[in-house]
Structure 1
């Protein structure tokens, strides 16, 4: 009788152990699932934060340009003024500079801190002036004290006018075929294209040194503006960053620079 009771108790202990093991297995499975969900949620949150950070960083230079005094903006010492001047004699160039607000070495959008690029025969652009002055140093030229985002800015004057109305950029109020005199006021408009590219070099699949050499160096410079028909096949900075799996945000903004000539006093009066 005693033997039977001990055998029954052994069975009960065995059944209890199995139940405990099943409960542990369920708890572990739920825990693993919860961890996976948390990791996915974290990745989504991180990607969202990276995208937001890049977008804000690429938007800031555009806001600064909008707020700048037109006289300062079109001065030859400013990249926009220099781009307008360069376009008069040799169209198709692109001024590049690094937006680095934490640096006090160069003011925003100054030509002395810019590089003049022109599309080459292959994917790499030709650096005609400025050397590396306009390229962000990926180890130091950050857009904030957080030392994460780098922002490259390009300024160009569009040469592709296929979508423009004929004569849209010509001065208004003149008719040379009929010999009309110069009017009291005259308007002319010029398109200006600004492209900003903000990115996080630390996220690159390659080393920062390789990324610098391949995308932002005098030997492997990349244009940012390939919207004109003649440049459509050229590799851009954004495409170069994508090849290195770098998260980035690119914004394109076109401005119309309107120049008004007003006659204050009539000739001979």
Structure 2
């Protein structure tokens, strides 16, 4: 009888151990899920904050006149030569000046392929020895794309306030400009630096061809990113 009791005790202990193991495994799995949710939430917040910061700099009234200059963020691509092309620059935290043409690049489609080096390649955010991140934390890369919308379906005076007399008001014809800010966190991806750099330097923000899209490229490598698209109507008064 005593031996049977010892055998029953062993079975009970084994059942308890199995139950504790299952409970512990479920607890660890739940903790990991909660940690992933929290990490994703923090990452999304960082991406939005960095994109918003870049947009605020674009909209800064103190930078507007400089941006409309011939070598400015809007002025350089406003002419017929660069109309429709994307002006690219990296929003870098270690740079005191938000935009500088010497640190910008042009990218556009030509005969079914992408041309990205007509203005050099220093404007693209790149992982490597230099600090292309938005802050010293080296967590987020933010790349800005600026392009003017070509003719297409734009109607005459479409972007004017109703009743505007362009001659009496002495204003330049308004045009629509699109600003894309792409923010990403490389450390949360298994993609290599070369793969991410290729997406940033050889893909467009505004394109109808999925293979040419920066969003499609980053998604294919499971890189966490967000894209903010902002449209502005620009005009200039002559004094």
**Shared fold (TM-score, shorter chain, > 0.5):** yes
Unaligned runs of 5+ in 1: 1-7, 175-181, 263-269
| 2:173 corresponds to which of 180, 185, 188 | 188
Rg bigger for which structure?
Answer: 1
Aligned residues of 1:123 and 1:222 also touching (Cα < 8 A): no
Aligned to 1:188, the other structure's residue is in SS state coil
Q: Deviation string for 1:213-255 (max 9, x for gaps)?
A: x2244xxx222122xxxx4556122222112221110000011
2:229 is the alignment partner of 1:249: no
Aligned residues of 1:114 and 1:135 also touching (Cα < 8 A): yes
Distance in 1 (alpha carbons) for counterparts of 2:95 and 2:55? 18
Change (3 A) 1:68 1:185: closer
Residue 261 of structure 1, CA deviation: 3.4
2:65 — aligned with what? Answer: 71
2:167 is the alignment partner of 1:155: no
Residue 116 of structure 1, CA deviation: 1.6
Aligned to 1:76, the other structure's residue is in SS state coil
The ranges of structure 1 where at least 4 consecutive aligned residues each deviate by more than 6 angstroms after the TM superposition are: none
Distance in 2 (alpha carbons) for counterparts of 1:74 and 1:185? 17
Change (3 A) 1:186 1:102: closer
Unaligned runs of 5+ in 2: none
Q: How many residues align?
A: 234
Kindly report the root-mean-square deviation, in angstroms, between the aligned alpha carbons of the 2 structures. Answer: 2.4
Change (3 A) 1:141 1:134: same
Aligned to 1:152, the other structure's residue is in SS state strand
2:216 — aligned with what? Answer: 239
Residue 80 of structure 1, CA deviation: 1.6
TM-score w.r.t. length of structure 2: 0.87
1:96 — aligned with what? Answer: 88
Residue 160 of structure 1, CA deviation: 5.0
Residue 120 of structure 1, CA deviation: 2.8
Q: Summarize the alignment of residues 1-269 of structure 1 with structure 2, pairs less than 5 Å apart.
A: 8-69=1-62, 70-84=64-78, 86=79, 88-104=80-96, 107-129=97-119, 131-139=120-128, 140-159=131-150, 161-162=152-153, 164-168=154-158, 172-173=164-165, 182-183=167-168, 185-186=170-171, 188-212=173-197, 214-217=198-201, 221-226=202-207, 231-232=208-209, 235-261=212-238
TM-score w.r.t. length of structure 1: 0.78
Distance in 2 (alpha carbons) for counterparts of 1:41 and 1:169? 48
Residue 193 of structure 1, CA deviation: 0.8
Q: Deviation string for 1:65-119 (max 9, x for gaps)?
A: 11242212212232222122x3x34421110000001245xx2122111012221
Aligned residues of 2:107 and 2:114 also touching (Cα < 8 A): no
Distance in 1 (alpha carbons) for counterparts of 2:210 and 2:219? 16
